[in-house]
Structure 1
């Protein structure tokens, strides 16, 4: 090795120093390798722990999914309303406060195609002998899907007539009291028992048809030929003569609803030969909402055949109203309503003008106030013309 011979001779100390440096490098590499292995072990432990958490979360979600259908199949809802009325007339003044309605809804889905709905009501807070109120079953029916756009129902249900008969929760309409046309001409709330079919067509058209129990209108006494007095409320009702109701509805334009209903009953008194032979109801309504402005209008009329009803000048009974409104914001709205009625009894023949406001502090709760002015058609009832102030509270959920 001639080249080495020319350099400084390598000693044993130099060799030992080289070996020590190499050993230190090896020890450092071993330390780094051990740290890496420990990190990998910790990472593996964390991965295993995360997998356990994910699996536990999945099991919990699956348990919720399994339990949720059982909870959601049955639903509960309701509504109620409190009224204060101050009426002033030449015949006398009166003041009254009344919890008019307390209602509970119960629904249940038996399957994707079969469901049940019911409505249970207490009127005027107290019911029983000598009490002013009633406990009533207003709905109890099952609905069956027959296809994508058609369903059948059977049981006790609200008839498809007018605006308020099917949708009458207090936050959904203006005025403390329900309008008089849909009280006297259309005797809302009006339910019957039977079977019906409903369907949806193209372009916003829908239809309803039902065969059901009918009215039993009295033909004598103070309520003779009064339609509202003919409701049997499916309480051991006389079913000698059934009735048929059909409706067409159009909602193909945003904010617009147009509907018309027709009902026929061959003997609306359920008594043959009493001078009330047949009855036909026709009603039509329009609802239009554009931005803050809205309007509702409804017309309803009955045509009866029979010697007795014609002699009493009650064979044609009708009424209509128009109601413009303005929603200032989500909380406040004002309205005005003009109604004209010509029904069986003298006290059911009048015109009425009213205006007022609704205040919705939150969804499902409403406070109301209105002022009414009623004038009767007959001069003999002029002393009964009245002005009234109404204040109300209502809710639904």
Structure 2
């Protein structure tokens, strides 16, 4: 079984705060050991005019000998993302953002999952020709503790209906 709870505060215009918890009695679902897990986290979203700020922090606490053996019984991370959006020409908008994230996964590589600590830096631009269409471009550099680095370019189109 699993259970999720969330509390949210939005009593100040432009500010949205929340805290959440998720409990799962067997996160692995494929063995006989106790693999109960608890996820705790919080989010913030603030918007004032064109300025925006988002953030999230989350922490997993996972029981079980196999998770402990791989130093994966505690995993956590966070990100912070300031942004700015300009409106012009009717529905058209252009927005830019920067994001910093830190993630601490299992200390060792397990199957296809790459463990370790990561710092992630992203910058991007969005263009909305109308309210329900967005063109997106961003660049991300991920640095793994110990020196490995990866660069990613993403381009996308979004449509809301």
**Which residue of structure 2 lines up, in the alignment, with residue 332 of structure 1?**
94
Alignment of 1:142-181 (within 5 A): none
Displacement, 1:327?
Answer: 1.0
Deviations 1:165-193 (CA, angstroms, capped at 9, x unpaired): xxxxxxxxxxxxxxxxxxxxxxxxxxxxx
**Contact 1:346 1:378 (C-alpha < 8 Å) held by counterparts:** no
Q: 2:6 aligns with which of 243, 247, 269?
A: 247
Report the count of equivalent residues.
Answer: 151
**Which residue of structure 2 lines up, in the alignment, with residue 226 of structure 1?**
none
**Contact 1:342 1:350 (C-alpha < 8 Å) held by counterparts:** yes
Displacement, 1:347?
Answer: 4.9
Deviations 1:271-328 (CA, angstroms, capped at 9, x unpaired): 5643x43110111100000111110000111001222211110000111100000112
Displacement, 1:349?
Answer: 3.5
Structure 1, unaligned stretches of length 5 or more?
A: 1-241
Distance in 2, matches of 1:367 and 1:251, equals: 29
**Which residue of structure 1 lines up, in the alignment, with residue 150 of structure 2?**
386
Structure 2, unaligned stretches of length 5 or more?
A: 107-112
**Contact 1:351 1:374 (C-alpha < 8 Å) held by counterparts:** yes
**Contact 2:116 2:145 (C-alpha < 8 Å) held by counterparts:** no
Q: 2:121 aligns with which of 344, 353, 359?
A: 353
* TM-score (norm. length: structure 1): 0.36
Displacement, 1:367?
Answer: 0.7
Distance in 2, matches of 1:289 and 1:359, equals: 18
Alignment of 1:106-255 (within 5 A): 242-255=1-14
Secondary structure (helix, strand or coil) at the match of 1:310 reads: helix
**Which residue of structure 2 lines up, in the alignment, with residue 317 of structure 1?**
75
| Structure of greater Rg | 1
Q: Which has the higher strand share?
A: 2
Deviations 1:232-260 (CA, angstroms, capped at 9, x unpaired): xxxxxxxxxx1111110111111111111
1:283 aligns with 2:41: yes
Distance in 1, matches of 2:49 and 2:132, equals: 20
1:365 aligns with 2:133: yes
Distance in 2, matches of 1:358 and 1:300, equals: 27
**Contact 2:67 2:73 (C-alpha < 8 Å) held by counterparts:** yes
RMSD (Å) for aligned C-alpha atoms:
1.7
User: Is the alpha carbon distance of 1:390 and 1:268 closer, same or farther for their aligned partners in structure 2, counting shifts above 3 Å?
Assistant: closer
Distance in 1, matches of 2:151 and 2:30, equals: 40
**Which residue of structure 2 lines up, in the alignment, with residue 203 of structure 1?**
none
User: Is the alpha carbon distance of 1:250 and 1:307 closer, same or farther for their aligned partners in structure 2, counting shifts above 3 Å?
Assistant: same
**Which residue of structure 2 lines up, in the alignment, with residue 341 of structure 1?**
103
